Structure 1
Amino acid sequence: MPEINKVKALQEEPVPFLPLEEVAEIHNGKTDRHLAAGNVPVYGSGGIMRYANKAANSGPAVLVPRKGSLANIMYVDGPFWTVDTLFYTLAKDFIRPKFLYYYLLTQHIEDLNQAGGVPSLTQATLKRIRIPVPSLKVQEEIVRILDTFTSLEAELEAELEAELEARQDQYCYYRNDIISKCTNSSKRMPLSDIGMLIRGHGMTKSDFTDKGIGAIHYGQLYTTFDTATDSVISYVSPAIAQSLLTVNPGNLIISNTSENLDDVGKAVAWLGNNQIVTGGHATVLRHNQNPKYLAYWFQTPDFQLQKRKYAAGTKVIELPAKALEKIMIPLPSLSIQSRIVSELDKFRLLNVSMSYGLPAEIEARHKQYEYYRDRLLTFKELDYE
């Protein structure tokens, strides 16, 4: 990186380090309850909370969390208001605000937490953070390079996320297409005709233990598991398990309840060798079909459109077992079901590989950016003695 090497050459001479209180004014945020709606962003430690009609300052400024997400340091270059979970700093004329922002990012302020509960930072601690003060020329060149790096990183991340989304869309299209083509001439029948749908009951997260009988909570169907699983992440005691619904190998577990329409009706095939249990807000489908074919079909637009006729609720969406019984499913022969599963498993494996690879690439680029940022912002301290 020639530009970085050029700047590092300018950093050979030691520079003074000063406490933050000597390079910037530090202000406490205030409540925004009295402010009317407007165009000025109101910041909390998590970011913009709303927009108000009055500014605490016209900027630029560096916002440092006082409580909560201490690592979430922010830079603003226009009017803003901060609530009392933030400090805001106004750099003096020998420090560029953006330089101060980038340097504070390297200081891992979250490690200065002084509370046992909600992470907290006092102004006294913040004031003592030592800041290097190179020439304005060096500060401006570092800011220019890091601004470029930040922009490039954001562009790359957007490209990789778009690629990931495109691959996911491609996978969904292929899954829906192969199931549609392979079942086009298949007889359709209600789920009640291909097996027995049994609604679970009981089991809360407080019932979980470190070992015992394997258990799948209904919420895990759409937060933890994909199409099928042969392992669990939760257990209940044998005594609790006796009062819960048994899931046999090959059974389908279907969510009956969710906060949104997309997740309700999510199905996961249990492919483990042992019986496990499930509880309330879940239905078990016992059947003699290919379990993964059924689970894949539950992801298709065919099922999604049908379930909309029976799902009910506003804040909580319900899809009862009695409603599931009416869902019509195309049922090809077991050999065709097996072929569909084989094709979709191959394609899904490629998609999963991509899903892991792209985030890893994003993380690698972010670490590379942090490396060069920290290198640029490392200075020798001037010894006054």
Structure 2
Amino acid sequence: MSAVSRRTQRLMGALPFASLGIVAAVDVLSGPDLNYLSLLAVGSAFASLVGGVRRTVLIGVVALILSLLLALYAGVLGDRQSNMSLISIAGVTAASILATVGRQRRERELATVRSVAEVAQRVLLRPVPRLAGHLRAAVSYTSANAEARIGGDLYEVVTGPGGVRAIVGDVQGKGLEAVETAALVLGAFREAAHDEADLRGVSGRLEKALNRRLSGEEFVTAILVDADPCGRLTLLNYGHPPPLILRANGEITLAEPDDTAPPLGLAVLEVDGPNPHQVDFAPGDQILLYTDGVIEARDRAGRFYPLTERAFLLKDDDPEAALEALRLDLVAHVDAPLHDDAAMLLLRCRDG
């Protein structure tokens, strides 16, 4: 749980007792002519926000005791208004107990669903090899805040007979359905990356797999990479943010294709896929693939994360350390839990 969430929990936990104290103080200071006993029920109402049933009962009992003491102090104990206040407090406490039971049940159900999704996601998103052919690889995956649903970000690196192939993608939507779609894409990619002669063949296999499952309104943005040992990258971009190319001399560019293509899974549009986009990739060069959770992360002022400007953080000789530095900078920029998962895959061409 983040520091912000813990602070919010503490404030919500103190709210019932603070409201009881304020009502009691106001009632005492205003004198016997004005009676605020019925407002003590507010403390019982706030009790259902956090904590368990015992805590809710405790706050209700404290409210009842305060009501009796204040009524005795004002000389109205046993009066009709005093009795109505006691009944109101007891009624609100009973309702808060029921609300607490319902909230705890929903929290358990949500925790179970989230746990299943997280386990499924961890199984799918296995660690990438640190050495893949002539490349060094590192991956970073930052989950969104606890209130957000599990997303469908995906990545994979496969070493085949002709070189290294990689994919980074983002499934539209959240939850277990997104995880299921991500599993379908990764399974098809892992198989096709070994079998197909070129990236168009790989993407064709992905399209077939998705079109058998998706309804036509769902889709997957993705970028596929084929890195051959001759110092060249071939990219296919399906509606995904363009990767960053970081040259050994410090030059930073975006690998934007000449033409755009819709995401995978939208065969209903009957649009041809993208043309392969080739990029030179010499020893010491790097390519950073990422999902939109990175570039759409906002700080407290609403400014997007300036990925291109912060790419100099990837200068560390160790790709994993370099990517971790960038991830920490992203988290510091937001200064709060992320609202969308952020996946990054860094590939670096080795010197030999």
TM-score grouping bracket, smaller chain normalisation: under 0.3
TM-score, normalization by structure 1: 0.25
TM-score, normalization by structure 2: 0.27
* Structure with a larger share of its residues in helix: 2
Structure having greater relative contact order (Cα 8 Å, sep ≥ 6):
1
